[in-house]
Amino acid sequence: MSARKTAVVTGSTSGIGLAIADALAAAGHDIVVNSFTDTAGDHAVAAAIAERHGVKALYIKADMSRPAECRALVAGAAEAFGSLDVLVNNAGIQHVAPVEEFPIEKWDAIIAINLSSAFHTTAAAIPLMRKAGGGRVVNIASAHGLVASPFKSAYVSAKHGIIGLTKTVALELARENITCNAICPGYVLTPLVEAQIPDQMKAHRMDRDTVVREVMLEKQPTKEFVTVEQVAAAAVFLCSEAAAQINGTHLSIDGGWTAQ
């Protein structure tokens, strides 16, 4: 086991994943940054994290809609850094449409990226964590892993599914110093949420401000977006020794949404 811990964060070139990668690096982890493209900008994200925090950081291209690439990402991280201690399954996409009009290819992509990828990366990570003497799996679910909203059938199904995967993995590995938990954010202002605004404006026939206030933050009692830093701090906590007995559960960061 290497002295410094290694963390893989899927979908970490922007939004929540980037904030988690940055926060884990600040906590001393070497980091594998991932997305499905292979641009200079992608590699620059990893270089900036390494520079900011004095850790090693590497960009590995892997498309989370492809099972073999999910597994290769984990293997590549262990090969590069010698171990794997933390896996954060964060990559996710969204599509908003009534269920009877929901495009089949969008359904398949959301289930693959938001749910099945976590199965593949986790399966590949377990033997490596076992070898390292323990580990942490953190799945970025959503308030939509606990409750539904209209027009998001695939997303809600995938996020409910990942809560089930979280519980199952936790039970299977409970005696091996490997924990598995989920984080359930409410609305966080990231590129993914920005991209939903036009669809929501169309679906609800509202202007931007109204859709943000009355639709998106309608269920979030604080009427404020969650920040990426708040989600990242929770992920770092779940990866810490203090969280060793937190297992198979979820942490909601939703301004009170699911208290209703």
Q: Annotated catalytic sites, by residue?
A: 155
> Could you give the CA distance from residue 47 to residue 61 in angstroms, rounded to a whole number?
15
257 forms part of the interface with ligand NAD (CB under 6 A): no
The only residue of 44, 192, 206, 243 in contact with ligand NAD, by rule CB under 6 A: 192
Minimal distance in Å, beta carbon 232 to ligand NAD? 10
Minimal distance in Å, beta carbon 3 to ligand NAD? 29
| Backbone φ/ψ region at 128: left (φ over 0), alpha (ψ -120 to 50), beta | alpha
178 forms part of the interface with ligand NAD (CB under 6 A): no
Which helix or strand (DSSP H or E) is residue 89 part of?
strand 86-89
Q: Which of 129, 119, 7 is nearest to 64 (CA)?
A: 119
List the interface residues with ligand NAD, window 35-54 (CB under 6 A).
Answer: 35-36
Which helix or strand (DSSP H or E) is residue 59 part of?
strand 57-61
The only residue of 46, 86, 87, 113 in contact with ligand NAD, by rule CB under 6 A: 113
> Could you give the CA distance from residue 35 to residue 16 in angstroms, rounded to a whole number?
13
> Could you give the CA distance from residue 83 to residue 103 in angstroms, rounded to a whole number?
40
8 forms part of the interface with ligand NAD (CB under 6 A): no
185 forms part of the interface with ligand NAD (CB under 6 A): yes
The only residue of 190, 200, 220, 252 in contact with ligand NAD, by rule CB under 6 A: 190
The only residue of 9, 32, 86, 140 in contact with ligand NAD, by rule CB under 6 A: 140
